[in-house]
Amino acid sequence: MRYTFAFILLTTPVFAEDSDHLVKIDGVEILHAWAQASDGPKARVFVEIENDSDTPIILRGGDAPDVAASIALMGASIKAGGDPQPIDEMPIAPGSHIDLVPDGLYLALDGLKAPLTKGEEFEMHLILEPHGEVEIHVEIEAADATAHSHAGHSH
Measured from the CB of residue 31, what is the shortest distance to another protein in angstroms? 13
Among 2, 80, 119, 130, indicate the residue that binds another protein (CB under 8 A). 80
Shortest CB 121 distance to another protein, Å: 25
- The residue from 54, 79, 152, 154 that contacts another protein (CB under 8 A) is 79
CB under 8 Å to 150, separation ≥6 — which residues?
Answer: 21, 32
Strands 132-141 and 28-36: parallel
Residue of the chain from 54, 78, 119, 152 that contacts another protein (CB under 8 A): 78
Binding segment for another protein among 21-29, 85-93, 113-121, 134-142 (CB under 8 A)? 85-93
Residue 129 · residue 14 · CB < 8 Å: no
Contact status: 134 vs another protein (CB under 8 A): no
Cβ neighbours for 35, distance < 8 A, ≥ 6 positions apart? 43, 44, 45, 46, 109, 116, 122, 138, 139, 140, 141
Selected range binding another protein among 14-22, 79-87, 119-127, 147-155, rule: CB under 8 A: 79-87
Smallest distance from another protein to CB 86, Å: 10
Q: Which of 27, 56, 65, 91 forms a contact with another protein (CB under 8 A)?
A: 91
Nearer to another protein, 5 or 52 (CB): 52
* 117 vs 124: CA distance, rounded Å: 16
Nearer to another protein, 6 or 73 (CB): 73
151: exposed, middle or buried (C-beta count within 10 Å: 0-12, 13-18, 19+)?
A: middle
Distance CA 39, CA 140 (A): 12
